[in-house]
Amino acid sequence: MERSGELHLNELPEGCIANALSFTAPLDVARLSAVSPMFKSAAISDVVWERFLPSDLESVLSTSPDGSLLLASVSSKRELYFSLCDNPILVDNGRKSFSLEKKSGMKCYMLSAMDLVITWSDTPRYWKWNSNPASRFPEVAELIKVCWLEIRGKINTSMLSPSILYTANLVFKFSIEAYGLDDQPVEVAMKLDGDKICAHSVCWNAERRGQQFRTARRPVDFFSCRRSIPARESDGHYPKKRGDGWLEIELGDFLCTEGEDGELEMRVFDGINYWKHGLIVEGIEIRPKEVGASPSS
């Protein structure tokens, strides 16, 4: 005997399923696509992936020489989404890169070394600018020789996704001949619209002396903010290797509040009076704080 009044998921129109999926998250869509062939088909709909793309994406891509080429090369919103996740695109005349965080679709930016304020970087005896095949940017900054090392970066929070916890990281490498960048403490800090957020110490490269990368147990004074960070590998406050072959130091976390338009400033400072050489700076990356796994493309 047939039962009336019941509606199974597989009986729903594909468009209805696609609309429902668009109110979830990319990671959820990847999981739900395995429910049935109908869900798998709905999961690739432009209706779903249009909602996961930033509302101002067209404006962002308009600042990239490759923006129009990217839009012309993709056949679907889903393809555009994963292209922006896997292949950061240069914007702002090549001074920044833009990408999407794969799990959530939230915005990620990297400020290139050219977009940072690096003390004495315009003096050839202290810094040089050259190309690096491993970098996404045309040029990186390579330290020749300084005692006073200071790097600053700024970004307007209106460029980021609202109501998201972000983390900022200095992205760098060492040349083969690098020296003066071992286990000495380095001050890193952030402020938002002049308000202190955090300040702590890390070590550039403690691994060189047979140690693991660790955060130094030492309070620092920057932006009138004093804070000591325990040396725990699990908290992320130590240099670590990235998937692209570079290293990164976490500068701190901040909540990008919806409706607020503020200036986030980041700083790295090593003023200990000894010579340093061989630091290669790619930039500062601002991305959502990592949680969970990534959806499959």
List pLDDT tens digits, range 144-154.
999 999 999 99
Region of 29 please: left (phi>0), alpha (psi -120 to 50) or beta: alpha
| Least confidently predicted of 3-12, 52-61, 95-104, 276-285 | 3-12
> What's the pLDDT tens digit per position in 176-206?
999 998 767 899 999 998 888 888 888 886 4
Which spans in the chain are helix H?
14-21, 26-32, 37-42, 46-52, 57-61, 67-73, 77-86
pLDDT above 70 coverage of the chain, percent? 81
How far is 89 from 73, CA to CA, in rounded Å?
14
Q: What number is the average pLDDT over the span 67-85? A: 94
pLDDT of 84 > 90? The answer is yes
What is the DSSP secondary structure assignment for residue 124, as one 8-state letter? Answer: T
pLDDT value at residue 207: 55
| Residue matched to tokens 């240069």 | 90
How far is 229 from 114, CA to CA, in rounded Å?
30
pLDDT value at residue 194: 86
Burial of 110 (0-12, 13-18, 19+ CB in 10 A): buried
Give the predicted TM-score (pTM) of the model: 0.83
> In DSSP terms, which residues pair with 169 in a beta bridge?
250, 285
How far is 270 from 201, CA to CA, in rounded Å?
10
Give the contacts of 270 (CB within 8 A, at least 6 positions apart): 148, 149, 150, 184, 186, 187, 204, 276
pLDDT of 282 > 90? The answer is yes
In order of start, what are the domains of the chain with their CATH numbers? 13-87 (no CATH), 107-288 (2.60.120.260)
